Amino acid sequence: MIENILEPGSTLGVLGGGQLGAMFAGAAHRMGYRVAVWDADPEAPAHRIATHSFTAPFTDLGVRDQFAGIADAVTLEWENVPAELCEWLEGHRPMRPSGAVLRILQDRLEQKQYLSSRQLPVAAFALVESVPQLISAIDRLGLPAVCKTAKSGYDGKGQWLLRDTTDIREVEQLLENAKPGHRWILEQFIEYVRELSVLVVRNESGVYCVYPVVENRHELGILRESRVPASISLDVAEKSANLSIQAVAALQGVGVFCVELFQAQDGSLLINEIAPRPHNSGHYTLDVCTVSQFEQQVRVTCGLPLGETRLLCPAVMVNLIGEEVRSVTSRDGAYALHSTSGAAVHLYGKRIRPGRKMGHVTFTAPEALAAEELAHRFIKRIQRPA
Ligand code: ATP
Ligand code: MG
């Protein structure tokens, strides 16, 4: 409804100030909005481009009131924001996604239970809170299996792959030493053929749009590269998109969602997890789509019409992880990268830490194969031991 649109000049609040928040703020500024960023870390990248910055913890009630006073609508870039804060905020301002959706998605067990209760396919799973529960879950699901903390994991952190009894021992120790109330999920390990992801944007009226299916490759639990379009049949692409749309609709999600999928060996698709925000695997949209995932986040937060999701050319996105970033910030590295036509670099301006996502490069070309070749040559270069 046109009367509910927040017009340019309004202030959009974002909970979390990492690179996703910074990219959201960039899109918002371009479209004429002001941005209030709330992240306790004063060095969080989005603070640098915020109109208003808040660096108190999310539990600070005074800042909560100020933030709600300044922001005309609120979104988030991180799913580990306290759900109760979102629930309170949505009593005062439009909050997209809602606290209720966040509550489901920020807990791996709640999420899998929700999806499977709606007949949406996920890997077999079990709740684990103690050693006997772990043993009976392994009896039921078999090995290999993956044990994950129910909350707060990212980039493969807080996950243990169980292949044999030695691995089981390690997780048993973890359970024995854990704080009371800590929950884990044990999941059947899926021998997938490929990992896919689909961005779905859905507004309050249930109108949605969907981006092309992306194919992802992880290394040591961290996303290494994403290519689009995925090298899958039209049938699998259609099924992936439909399943993702169905999942976001089942959640009654309003906002930008990324549905991560496994394509199993028998061709079937399983939902790995759903992020209630733009996603690393959707960064290509900044360079090869007319409307990026961040612009969609602005649009859906403001009640504007959703944008088109057309892919202008094939792309492969490569993450710069930890020290790898030096290979593009050194003089030689910067020169080499900027001499490559079709390479778009994005640096997040964070302190280097091992395993941390420091930036990404999107390689584009008229043909998928050419983009892939550029990306793979680049990966070889950045992974060369110093
Ligand atoms: P991210 O932050 O990259 O989304 P995450 O820490 O939230 O990751 P997951 O997406 O659950 O966690 O897992 C990270 C990666 O580990 C997956 O993309 C996949 O490669 C692998 N993985 C996770 N669960 C399974 C499983 N059940 N079977 C096989 N591989 C798995
Ligand atoms: Mg994931």
- Reported as a single tens digit per residue, the pLDDT across 45-60 is 999 999 999 999 999 9
Give the pLDDT mean for 25-53: 98
As given in the structure block, the two tokens for residue 338 are 């900027």
As given in the structure block, the two tokens for residue 381 are 């270069």
Helix (H) or strand (E) holding 343: strand 343-347
- The pLDDT value recorded for residue 122 is 98
Q: Is the CB of 155 under 6 A from ligand 1?
A: yes
- Reported as a single tens digit per residue, the pLDDT across 233-257 is 999 999 999 999 999 999 999 999 9
Helix (H) or strand (E) holding 259: strand 255-264
Q: Kindly report the length of the chain.
A: 386
- The pLDDT value recorded for residue 381 is 94
Query: CA 97, CA 75: separation in Å to the nearest integer?
Result: 6
Query: CA 18, CA 43: separation in Å to the nearest integer?
Result: 9
Mutate to test the pocket of ligand 1, among 159, 189, 222, 360 (most ligand atoms within 8 A of CB): 159
Q: Is the CB of 145 under 6 A from ligand 1?
A: no
What domains lie within the chain, and their CATH numbers? Answer: 2-95 (3.40.50.20), 124-188 (3.30.1490.20), 192-382 (3.30.470.20)
- The pLDDT value recorded for residue 385 is 61
Query: CA 175, CA 156: separation in Å to the nearest integer?
Result: 18
Torsion angle of the four alpha carbons 195, 196, 199, 204, in this order, in degrees rounded to the nearest 10: -80
Q: Is the CB of 88 under 6 A from ligand 1?
A: no
Mean pLDDT of the chain: 96
Label residue 338 by pLDDT band (50, 70, 90): very high
Backbone angles phi, psi at 279, to 5 degrees: -135, 150
Q: Is the CB of 79 under 6 A from ligand 1?
A: no
| Contact yes or no for 162/142 (Cβ under 8 A) | no
- Reported as a single tens digit per residue, the pLDDT across 254-269 is 999 999 999 998 889 9
Answer yes or no: is pLDDT of 386 > 60: no
Atom of ligand 1 nearest to the CA of 158: 6
Label residue 179 by pLDDT band (50, 70, 90): confident
Q: Is the CB of 273 under 6 A from ligand 1?
A: yes
In this prediction, what percent of the chain has a pLDDT beyond 90? 92
In this prediction, what percent of the chain has a pLDDT beyond 70? 99
Neighbour count for residue 234 (Cβ, 10 Å): 7
Answer yes or no: is pLDDT of 153 > 80: no
Give the pLDDT mean for 196-225: 97
Query: CA 196, CA 286: separation in Å to the nearest integer?
Result: 19
Q: Is the CB of 87 under 6 A from ligand 1?
A: no
User: Which residues are in the CB-under-5-Å shell of ion ligand 2?
Assistant: 260
DSSP 160: E
Label residue 322 by pLDDT band (50, 70, 90): very high
Which among 24, 18, 59 has a CA at the least distance from the CA of 39?
18
Q: pTM above 0.95?
A: yes
As given in the structure block, the two tokens for residue 233 are 């049949």
Task: Report the separation in Å between the CA atom of 221 and the middle of ligand 1, taken as the mean of its atom positions.
Answer: 6
- The pLDDT value recorded for residue 267 is 84
- The pLDDT value recorded for residue 152 is 86
Atom of ligand 1 nearest to the CA of 123: 27
